[in-house]
Copies of this chain bind each other. A is one copy, B any other.
């Protein structure tokens, strides 16, 4: 009877309806039916990402999709600027290292977002930069970077702009074409409300020019093969067609709701949660907090491991801990995808109960009350 509620910033909760869409009898993927489903998914993905390009659907994780983009766009005879202030930014730096792609690291503390002006300064210092990689919503540090501004700086400097949008797309305002983003990557297990298993990669015409100018140093991750197959609404290798069925369902839900409304709902949940955190006398982690996930900085008196264990075992609330040097210091509460105000107020209430169990002093109901005021004000 324990009801489990995933408050982790991926995998996020999957609706019973989406699970049942994926439980339908499986058809073959080389059929008119699958091609039609894939085409609809690509149309809907283009809507969610804000692009007229045809996003590519890869069977794998977000990491794999990002790797495909990096090895296609970041050439060995050019310089890449990689911005990192968290675990995922560090991962993209590691990919550049493995492939021996020349790069400049722009590192900041966890929780600090990247600003357009500072990226512009990096271009002045290093005029050879041909591509920039950054994480729009850095899940590990709960922070946001200036995607629109950085994209403009890249355009102004004739460099490609590669965005890890894994916890941004479908969560916070994201307008690939309008902002001039060249690569937009996401995964199925975040705002797309599905299990992990699909990676999405949208590619601008500018990026295709670079990708087409050389042979990517990989086979499965060569984006050119996906583009070619996509012309016939097909995939170069056997796709996870079960998940593509689920994707059609969840993307249709997003379209019906309207992407702006999804962004607004996510922002409201995040705003309410931040208010609750403050009302409980705790601090919001991240100097530049993002709306996809809220980081809660715990006082030394609270045992993070014990807190999360109580939340899960007693109340069915599974939230994430910190990563890297933030391990043991923060918990993270998700606002992406199939989660609403009632779920979230429940998580805040459970957080209060678990904090009380550890003797932390606060007024019971202060968090849920503060959250409620934000929701009521809409």
Q: Which residues of A contact B (CB under 8 A)?
A: 4, 6, 8, 10-11, 13-14, 16, 19-20, 22-29, 31, 59-64, 67, 94-95, 98-99, 187, 189, 195-197, 215-222, 237-243, 318
Contact A219 B94 (CB under 8 A): yes
Give Cα A240–Cα B241 distance, bound, in whole angstroms.
Answer: 13
Contact B63 A60 (CB under 8 A): no
For A197, what are the chain B residues with a Cβ–Cβ distance below 8 Å? 59, 197, 240, 242-243
Contact B28 A23 (CB under 8 A): no
Shortest A314–chain B CB gap in Å is 16
Partner pick for A240 among B6, B216, B240, CB 8 A cutoff: B240
Contact A220 B28 (CB under 8 A): no
For A13, what are the chain B residues with a Cβ–Cβ distance below 8 Å? 26
Shortest A317–chain B CB gap in Å is 12
> How many chain copies does the complex carry?
2
For A4, what are the chain B residues with a Cβ–Cβ distance below 8 Å? 25, 27
For A31, what are the chain B residues with a Cβ–Cβ distance below 8 Å? 318
Q: A240-B240, A242-B195, A242-B197 are in contact. Are A67 and B219 (CB under 8 A)?
A: yes
Contact B23 A11 (CB under 8 A): no
Contact B98 A189 (CB under 8 A): no
Shortest A274–chain B CB gap in Å is 23
Contact A59 B60 (CB under 8 A): yes
Closest to A64 in B: B220
Give Cα A218–Cα B63 distance, bound, in whole angstroms.
Answer: 12
Give Cα A243–Cα B11 distance, bound, in whole angstroms.
Answer: 14
Give Cα A131–Cα B44 distance, bound, in whole angstroms.
Answer: 45
Give Cα A189–Cα B238 distance, bound, in whole angstroms.
Answer: 9
Contact A195 B240 (CB under 8 A): yes
For A29, what are the chain B residues with a Cβ–Cβ distance below 8 Å? 11, 196
Contact B14 A26 (CB under 8 A): yes
For A195, what are the chain B residues with a Cβ–Cβ distance below 8 Å? 26, 240-243
Partner pick for A23 among B6, B19, B95, B187, CB 8 A cutoff: B19
Contact B11 A67 (CB under 8 A): no
Contact B318 A222 (CB under 8 A): no
Give Cα A109–Cα B233 distance, bound, in whole angstroms.
Answer: 31
Shortest A299–chain B CB gap in Å is 24
Shortest A182–chain B CB gap in Å is 20
Contact A11 B94 (CB under 8 A): no
For A95, what are the chain B residues with a Cβ–Cβ distance below 8 Å? 219
Give Cα A222–Cα B97 distance, bound, in whole angstroms.
Answer: 13
Closest to A13 in B: B26
Shortest A261–chain B CB gap in Å is 24
Partner pick for A238 among B11, B98, B243, CB 8 A cutoff: B11
Contact B187 A238 (CB under 8 A): yes
Give Cα A59–Cα B14 distance, bound, in whole angstroms.
Answer: 18
Closest to A220 in B: B64
Give Cα A334–Cα B222 distance, bound, in whole angstroms.
Answer: 30
Partner pick for A220 among B59, B60, B222, CB 8 A cutoff: B60
Of A13, A197, A215, the most chain B CB neighbours within 10 A belong to A197
Shortest A30–chain B CB gap in Å is 8
Sample of 8 A–B contacts (CB below 8 Å) = A4-B25, A6-B26, A13-B26, A27-B318, A61-B220, A61-B237, A99-B217, A99-B218
Of A13, A25, A26, A27, the most chain B CB neighbours within 10 A belong to A26
